[in-house]
Amino acid sequence: MDNYPLPAQRLVADMAQAAAQAPELAISFQGAPGANSHLAVLDYAADARPLPCFSFEDALDAVREGRADRAMIPIENSLHGRVADMHFLLPESGLAIIDEYFLPIRYALMSIDDAPLVSALSHVQALGQCRHYLRARGIRPIAYDDTAGAAALVAEAGESGAAAIAPPLAAELYGLKVHDRNIEDSADNMTRFVVLARESRVPSRDGPVMTTFLFEVKNVPAALYKALGGFATNGVNMTKLESYQRGASFSATEFYADIEGMPGDAAVDRALEELAFHSKWVRLLGSYRQARSRSI
């Protein structure tokens, strides 16, 4: 908790106490109060007790240790792609994906007063998403660990001319003046979150269902082509496929994938069986209700 600026520490303490009183309602997230992940929790579950955590690992640990029922973790952004390290943290957590949520990203420029702004403090991705706005106004970007944490630090420092870029909720929580809203360069900026729990859950079948998994193909010619062939021949729609490498190795490529459907569907079972035959290992991360259509 001491890693947060002082104004955020007070809110974190209050929110942690509220979550401890009803852990079955607690949803952990990474960031200071007022962050986009905090907004996602509030939008996703109106009765949730949001539990702020300084790191992604802390948010996942809160679920493993029973201090929160679920964790809400950003996994990809429409402008900047996947969130760093998520492909490693998700399988290592031992948690299951039980849902997904999409949050439109809206940023505001905020400071302590009406003085002309010289600099803007925020997370590097937020600065990148607002870079045209800042350049047009001659405001110098300064990177910080967290958007809402930047707002708390600006409130704590009390320095005229220093601003933060964060969700408008952060200005409300830390008593800052909003100079401008919706300053992001792209109006279709969207972040996809996954909801994780200690145990997997069977999703309702009142709409399309997604399944997320990881795999590593065998190191033989055309291994990936053969491994994925079962999804094509069985008519299973793969909506996402990303490669990544673990550690310093350049020989063992692992893959993250999303498909429509779930184990128990005959076509999915056949496709996964063929995938397993051509892979060193396959790890299912969870099946869940599709929150947003992937259809064109």
Residue 211 has, within 13 A of its CA and on its CB side, a CA count of 22
- Residues 269/263, Cβ–Cβ less than 8 Å: yes
- Residues with Cβ within 8 Å of 232's Cβ and at least 6 positions away in sequence, in order, are none
Residue spans of alpha helices (H) in the chain: 6-21, 36-44, 56-64, 86-93, 124-129, 131-136, 147-157, 168-174, 223-233, 266-277
Instruction: Spot the catalytic one: 191, 211, 213, 255.
Output: 191
Q: Which of 59, 61, 58, 47 is nearest to 18 (CA)?
A: 47
Q: Which residue has the tokens 């957590």?
A: 93
Which residue is catalytic, options 29, 54, 56, 193?
A: 193
Catalytic residue list contains 147: no
Query: Could you give the 3-state DSSP secondary structure of residue 245?
Result: strand
Amino acid at 87: H
193 among known catalytic residues:
yes
**Inter-CA distances, 292 with 192, 210, 261, 278, 296, Å:** 10, 10, 14, 31, 12
Residues acting as catalytic residues: 191, 193
